[in-house]
Structure 1
Amino acid sequence: MVLAAAPVTDAAYDMALALLDRVPLIDGHNDLPYVVRLDRTAKGDLSAYDLGKVHPETDTDIPRMQAGKLAGQFFAAYVPPNHPKPAGFALAQIALMRRIWERHADVFRPGLSADDVEAARKEGRIALFMTIENGSALDNELDALDAYWDLGVRLMTLCHNDTHDWCDSATDAPRHNGLAAFGKEVIGRMNRLGMIVDLAHVSPKVMHDVLDVSTAPVVWSHSNAFSLCDHPRNVPDDVLDRVAGNDGLVMATFVPDFISQASRDWHRPAKDQYGKTPDGLDYKKAEAEIVRTAGPRPKATLAEYCDHVEYLAKRIGNDHVGIGSDFFGGLNPEGLEDASTFPRVIAELIRRGWSDENLAKLAGGNMLRVMRSVASAAAR
């Protein structure tokens, strides 16, 4: 993967950079820990990977995070669906993230609360928050949540691309008609701990079930609007219409097939009915066949991404929209190629007439509010 092309350096871009010097920018989801784990050379060894240098083969490293003016970053301990030892894998990824804190203490401040974002900005650092992506990491043990909390985990995505023992996935066959009874216990414990409930990846029925029982705001850390792109990972309007009532947050994501209907449609021959790659499929061969029959893959763009942001803002209000890149070392939209490109989102919305107040909410203000509200609900 090549580095991002030079941005359009007009007055709006200069204004975006100036705004991000004044207000915090928070990215709700990044899979860098998994990228480091999968790297053929590093295999999870941070000294071998060297986050301090630019990695043109992927999208996230310290130089580009700093260029992107991040104040807060949520890194995921992603657990692959159906992993035979999900808790052990999650713990290994948490250990990797804690090593990032330690090895790069001059760059990252441990993120444990909203206050750490403001503190990190004053120190010229980035608040690094740890999350778990896939509730299978609990191994069906409710008390595991307390242990993860004590290790510093502050958000959990309930499932990933497969349905598991207590939660139906958006991209798999349902088994529980939404959230199983144990899943509702999980929500209750997360609420009491102050851990943010993340509904990215869950089925619409689970979204409704969680909104019915959660006593704290919830987030979608990396999802877009289903009405603009009908990928099942995106949020349908009937769910969006409940977000403001929960005081929750949808963090629009950069994944091309969640942004562009053309990209989504182009990919359909290589996906199953649930929108994911079938087990055992030779993906490169399948894509080559699509290219042969349908031509090159359509590109998602920064402009289309901002269409999702604007749709969400109009549907649910400017208080309930954020940014969740989901950088994972794969193909990214044109104009949003890597972690240096966040200011381009702000610049494009400035060109569309967004106020500084609403841009500040989008960039990080809304996530800070949700973090504080979740903490307050736990204290009650």
Structure 2
Amino acid sequence: MALAKPPVQDNAYAAALALLDRVPLIDGHNDLPYVIRKDAKARGDVAVYGLDKVHEEGDTDIPRMQAGKMAAQFFAAYVPPKQANPAGFALAQIALMRDILKRHASAFRPGLSAADVEAAKAEGRIALFMTIENGSAVDGELDALDAYYDLGVRLMTLCHNDTTDWCDSATDAPRHNGLTGFGKDVLRRMNKLGMVIDLAHVAPKVMHDALDVSSAPVVWSHSNAFTLCDHPRNVPDDVLDRVAGNGGVVMATFVPDFISQASRDWHRPAKDQYGKSPEGIDHEKVEAEIAAKSGPRPKATLPEYCDHVEYLAKRVGHDHVGIGSDFFGWVNPDGLEDTTTFPSVIAELIRRGWSEENLAKLAGGNMLRVLRAVEKAAG
């Protein structure tokens, strides 16, 4: 992986930088904690990893987050689907994020509320919001949510790529026709605590169940439009049509196979019927075999990404779209290689005629509204 290519230096890009000097930019999902955990040298040691240095092999570090004009980042405590000790693994990832806050206090402040985003923007820091990606971390105990909240967790993605005991995944065989009774209780407890419900990764029936149950707005922290790319992780139109009524936000993601139908189709031989890689697959070998037969992997692009943003804005309204990169140290689209590229998204939409008001909503205003609403509904 290389650093991002220099952006197009035109009036639109200059206007994008100026806008992001005035309004907060919020990214809804980034897997840096897991990248640090799996790094061969650092092995979860924040000090050894050195976040204050540019990591050309990755996509996220403090210098490039600052260059990308970020005001808030939702970092995930990702729990692998078949993790034997999901709660313990989640706690280890939370501890890693708390160490980031401790070691890099000049760059980050704890993100616990909407007010922290505004404070971070004023201070020239980044509000670090801790999330859990995979509700298996609850480990069957509702009270675990209270403990996670007290540790600073403010959002939870209900599942990951596998169906859990209480939640059907978008990329696995359904077992519950949506959410179980316990799953609905999880949502009610999250509402009571003031924890954002994240529907990225869940099956469409779970999306509908959550929209029926939740008393607060929900989000899709890293998902795109199914109509433009038929990956099961994307959001279908019948769900999108309910988002405005809930007040929620769909945060469009940079994952190539969720953006580009060509990339999605090219990868099909390496995926199962649910759109995920079978266990134990040798990705490099399989992709080499696909390339030998079908040619190089098609690349997703920044303009294609903005097609999703525009589709979502037209379908659900400008009040209900956001940005959720899902940077995780892998292959990224052309023009969206790392965290310096957020202004390029804004610039591309300026070229397409978006107003400053709607750009401010996309950049962070809509997610700020969700945070305030979730906080208000708690108790």
TMscore range, shorter length? over 0.9
Q: Which residue of 1 aligns with 2:371?
A: 371
In structure 2, C-alpha distance between the alignment counterparts of 1:203 and 1:257, rounded to whole Å: 17
3-state secondary structure, aligned to 1:340? helix
Q: How far 1:345 moved relative to its partner? A: 0.2
Give the structure 1 partner of residue 166 of structure 2.
166
Aligned equivalents of 1:206 and 1:119: distance in 2?
35
**Following superposition of structure 1 onto structure 2, how do residues 314-325 of structure 1 map, counting pairs within 5 Å?**
314-325=314-325
Letter in 2 for 1:130: M
Match of 1:260 in 2: 260
Gapped regions of structure 2 (runs ≥ 5):
none
How far off its partner does 1:82 sit? Answer: 1.2
Q: In structure 2, what is the Cα distance between the partners aligned to 1:281 and 1:15?
A: 45
The residue type equivalent to 1:138 in the other structure is V
Deviation by residue 1:243-268 (Cα, 9 ceiling, x = unmatched): 00000000000000000000000000
What residue number does 1:109 align with? Answer: 109
**Inter-partner Cα distance in structure 2 for 1:279 and 1:99:** 32
The alpha carbon displacement at 1:280 in A equals 2.0
- Match in the other structure for 1:237: 237
Q: In 1, Cα distance between the equivalents of 2:57 and 2:265?
A: 27
Structure 1: distance between partners of 2:378 and 2:46: 35
Q: Secondary structure at the match of 2:226?
A: coil
1:1-380 equivalence runs, <5 A: 1-379=1-379
CA distance in 2 between counterparts of 1:40 and 1:75 reads: 20
CA deviation string 1:122-169 (max 9, x = no partner): 111000000000000011100000000000000000000000110000
- Secondary structure (helix, strand or coil) at the match of 1:106 reads coil
Distance between the aligned counterparts of 1:185 and 1:55, measured in 2?
41
How much does 1:354 deviate? 0.2
What one-letter code is carried by the residue in structure 2 that aligns with 1:369? R
Q: Give the gaps of 5 or more residues in structure 1.
A: none
The superposition leaves residues 293-350 of structure 1 with CA deviations (integer Å, 9 ceiling, x where unpaired) of 0000000000000000000000000000000000000000000000010000000000
| Range that drifts further, 296-305 or 280-289 | 280-289
Q: Deviations over 1:182-232 (max 9, x none)?
A: 000000000000000000000000000110111000000000000000000
Partner SS state of residue 335, structure 2: coil
Q: Secondary structure at 2:339's aligned position in 1?
A: coil
The CA distance in 1 between the partners of 2:121 and 2:372, in whole Å, is 17
Query: How many residues are paired up?
Result: 379
What are the superposed Cα offsets for residues 164-186 of structure 1, whole Å, 9 maximum, x if unpaired?
11000000000111101100000
- Report deviation, 1:285: 1.0
Cα distance in 2 for partners of 1:158, 1:46 equals 27
CA offset at residue 97 of structure 1?
0.2
Give the aligned CA root-mean-square deviation in angstroms.
Answer: 0.4
Q: What amino acid is the match of 1:15? A: A
**Structure 2 counterpart of 1:14, one-letter code:** A
The amino acid across from 1:20 in the alignment is L
Distance 1:14 1:81 in 2: 42
Look up the SS of the partner of 1:27 in the other structure. Answer: strand
How far apart, in 2, do the equivalents of 1:274 and 1:284 lie? Answer: 20
What per-residue deviation string (whole Å, max 9, x for no partner) do you get for residues 278-300 of structure 1?
Answer: 11222211101100000000000
Matches of 1:32 and 1:279, distance apart in 2:
23
Q: Distance in 1 between matches of 2:125 and 2:18?
A: 17
The one-letter code sitting in structure 2 at the alignment partner of 1:147 is: A
Give the TM-score of the pair, scaled to structure 1. 0.99
Distance across 2 between alignment mates of 1:146 and 1:40:
33
Task: Give me the whole-angstrom Cα distance separating, in 2, the residues matched to 1:51 and 1:268.
Answer: 35
Paired residue type of 1:259: I
Taking the aligned partners of 1:363 and 1:123, their CA distance within structure 2 comes to 18
CA distance in 2, matches of 1:122, 1:83: 40
Cα distance in 1, alignment partners of residues 61 and 25 from structure 2: 16
The one-letter amino acid paired with 1:325 is S
Q: Give the AA of the match of 1:231.
A: H
| C-alpha distance after superposition, 1:347-372 (max 9, x if no partner) | 00000000000000000000000000
3-state SS in 1 of match to 2:300: coil
Q: Percent identity of the aligned residues?
A: 80
- Quote the offset at 1:47 in angstroms: 1.1
